[in-house]
């Protein structure tokens, strides 16, 4: 009987310790350790006039959703589309672009740990990255220096023909579609199809952003 009681006591202590550890830094059943850092970043972006609308998106499926930020004015004077994460308690900017300039766009794929940045002053540059240790790590990059018969094409740093270029980039993108585009007037579902010298896409449904006050309440 004593052995059974001792074993039972040990098991109870183990369960209690695990429960306490799993609950550290969490409220409402979810990990909210990112709440305060994100609220500080939101206030900073708003005060500096860089962004005034926000969303949370679980891009890499860990316990910390990424913070999406956008400028509703669509200003081209500064970066107007952002993605942030929290690493070791600090807010890290993963990506920021001036959306709409030189084909620049910022997209992400929910739950697949993929972020897409496009744009080039001449030609095309498509960079797909994953979040690793609070930073972006490129996993697929396709570039075209021009769109005429003298254009040069590379995929992941290797020269390819025009046909190979579109075949490889479409093969990669198709496994991650649809992506979500961070635009000044909403978050749009995007399905890409690269052909004939362009990155064409079909636009699907859209989601509205939250205001700074609305998302702050969510994060508190």
Within a domain: 4: no
Phi-psi region of 113 (alpha: psi -120 to 50; beta: other; left: phi over 0): left
pLDDT in tens, the chain (220 residues): 444 444 334 333 433 333 333 333 333 334 568 999 999 999 999 999 999 999 999 999 888 999 999 999 888 889 999 999 999 999 999 999 998 777 789 999 988 999 999 987 677 889 999 999 889 999 999 998 866 677 899 999 999 998 999 999 999 998 888 899 999 999 999 998 887 656 667 777 889 999 999 999 999 9
Within a domain: 122: yes
Strand partners, 135: 132
Domain hosting residue 75, numbered range: 30-219
- Report d(CA 20, CA 37) in Å as an integer: 23
Within a domain: 8: no
SS3 37: helix
SS3 141: strand
Token pair of 40 as six digits: 């500080």
Within a domain: 16: no
- Tokens 């830094």 — which residue? 25
- Tokens 């979500």 — which residue? 180
Within a domain: 21: no
If one counts the domains in the chain, the total is 1
Within a domain: 2: no
Within a domain: 55: yes
């Amino acid at each position: 009987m004593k052995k059974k009681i001792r074993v039972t006591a040990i098991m109870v202590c183990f369960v209690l310790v695990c429960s306490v550890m799993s609950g550290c830094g969490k409220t409402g059943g979810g990990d909210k350790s990112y709440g305060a850092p994100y609220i500080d970043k939101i206030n900073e972006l708003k005060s500096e006039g860089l962004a005034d609308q926000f969303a949370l998106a679980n891009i890499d499926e860990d316990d910390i959703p990424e913070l999406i930020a956008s400028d509703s004015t669509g200003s081209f004077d500064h970066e107007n589309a952002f993605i942030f994460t929290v690493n070791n308690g600090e807010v890290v900017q993963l990506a920021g672009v001036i959306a709409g300039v030189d084909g620049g766009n910022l997209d992400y794929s929910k739950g697949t740990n993929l972020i897409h940045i496009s744009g080039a002053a001449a030609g095309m540059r498509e960079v797909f990255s994953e979040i690793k240790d609070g930073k972006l790590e490129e996993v697929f990059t396709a570039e075209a220096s021009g769109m005429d018969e003298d254009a040069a094409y590379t995929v992941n740093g290797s020269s390819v023909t025009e046909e190979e270029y579109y075949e490889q980039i479409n093969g990669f993108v198709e496994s991650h579609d649809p992506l979500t585009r961070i635009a000044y007037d909403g978050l749009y579902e995007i399905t890409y199809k690269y052909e004939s010298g362009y990155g064409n896409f079909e636009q699907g449904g859209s989601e509205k952003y939250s205001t700074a006050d609305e998302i702050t309440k969510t994060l508190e």
